[in-house]
């Protein structure tokens, strides 16, 4: 049986579902063999842990996200991911917040998500893995071809069952 996921995690996963603009941008970052750290939310709690960077306040596009991923800092999006609020931001979460991650980008993502409770997405440059963090939850996204393959297998299985019952 699948583990129960929190509503906050399910809402965060809905923003990175295949076909969503944010997912398209994340896939572009992975294809370009780049990494990224993206915070989905630009409220006061996020701005309190931001240092440096620059204000953009521009409409979101997958192309803009992949271009901004070339910078070393985090990218701050509006809560609905419709706008890019800031880029090249240094995040300074509480260093005492526990983390189980090893890479710098993933450790920062987990600490930010745990300390202020907003969705944070980390794209691993070396492993080409996208991980979504929120509160104490984390979820590693599967590639779209892997998801489609599983769907096709499930449909074929259903078709075989249907044929047996007919």
Q: Residue 73: which of 61, 55, 57 has the closest Cα? A: 55
Supply the pTM of this predicted model: 0.87
| Beta-strand pair 130-134/137-140 | antiparallel
Is residue 81 pLDDT above 60, yes or no? yes
**CATH topology for 7-165?**
YojJ-like (1 (3.40.1700)
% of the chain surpassing 90 pLDDT: 83
Q: Is it the case that residue 2 has pLDDT exceeding 70?
A: no
Identify any residues that bridge with 139 across adjacent strands, giving them in sequence order.
132
Q: How confident is the model at residue 146 (pLDDT cuts 50, 70, 90)?
A: confident
Give the pLDDT confidence score for residue 53 in this predicted structure: 96
* Start-to-end C-alpha separation, the chain: 29
Per-residue model confidence (pLDDT) at position 144: 80
Domain map of the chain by residue range? 7-165
Place of tokens 């980008």: 105
Q: Which residue has the tokens 């890479």?
A: 103
* Distance in angstroms (rounded) separating the CA atoms of residues 100 and 124: 15
Confidence of residue 15 (pLDDT cuts 50, 70, 90): very high
pLDDT at 121 over 90: yes
Residue 101 in this model has a pLDDT that exceeds 90: yes
pLDDT at res. 3: 60
Which ranges of 16-165 does DSSP label H, i.e. alpha helix?
Answer: 21-31, 44-47, 62-68, 104-116, 144-165
At residue 1, does pLDDT exceed 50?
A: no
Read off the pLDDT band of 37 (50, 70, 90).
Answer: very high
Whether residue 102 is predicted with pLDDT greater than 80 in this model: the reply is yes
What is the pLDDT of the chain when averaged over all its residues? 93
> Mean pLDDT across the stretch 70-92?
97
CB-count exposure of residue 94 (10 Å: 0-12, 13-18, 19+): exposed
Matching residue, tokens 């893995």 = 129
């Amino acid at each position: 049986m699948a583990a129960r996921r929190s509503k906050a995690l399910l809402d965060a996963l809905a923003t990175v579902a295949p076909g969503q603009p944010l997912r398209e941008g994340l896939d572009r970052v992975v294809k370009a063999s780049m990494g990224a750290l993206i915070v989905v939310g630009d409220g006061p709690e996020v701005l309190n842990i931001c240092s440096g960077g620059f204000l953009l306040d521009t409409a979101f596009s997958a192309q803009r996200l992949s271009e901004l991923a070339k910078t070393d800092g985090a990218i701050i999006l509006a809560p609905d991911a419709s706008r890019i609020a800031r880029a090249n931001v240094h995040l300074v979460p509480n260093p005492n917040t526990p983390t189980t991650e090893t890479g710098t980008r993933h450790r920062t993502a987990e600490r930010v998500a745990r300390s202020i409770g907003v969705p944070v997405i980390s794209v691993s440059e070396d492993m080409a893995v996208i991980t979504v963090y929120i509160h104490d939850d984390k979820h590693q996204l599967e590639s779209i071809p892997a998801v489609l393959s599983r769907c096709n297998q499930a449909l074929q299985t259903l078709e075989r069952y249907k044929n047996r019952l007919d």
